[in-house]
Amino acid sequence: MISAIIAKAWGSETYRARLLADPVAVLRGEGMDLPAGIAIRVVEDTTGTRTLVLPAKPVDLTEEELGRVVGGADPSHCANWCLCCANCAI
């Protein structure tokens, strides 16, 4: 779903502007089930700037589980927002 939203933003300046201005409304409009009160920030990369997202550390993981998640061996605790692996069910 995220890939389709990105492609749509690349293809439509109006959609891109809406996504940047009110991402929660756009994502909900695309059928994403977002919890009430959630804040979403869309950051646009440029040719000279790339964005690294540092997800919140899960508080319910042991050090061993955290090591597996960080190493990519256990996608079950995925933040579910990354676009960089095939493990996400987005």
Residue 69 CA to residue 78 CA, distance in Å, equals 7
Nearest Cα to 20, choosing from 3, 1, 45? Answer: 45
Q: What pLDDT is stored for residue 74 in this prediction?
A: 52
Q: Which two tokens stand for residue 12?
A: 């439509």
In the predicted structure, residue 31 carries a pLDDT above the cut 50: yes
What mean pLDDT is predicted for residues 71-79?
Answer: 54
- What are 6-17's pLDDT values in tens digits? 999 999 999 999
Residue 59 CA to residue 46 CA, distance in Å, equals 33
Q: What pLDDT is stored for residue 72 in this prediction?
A: 57
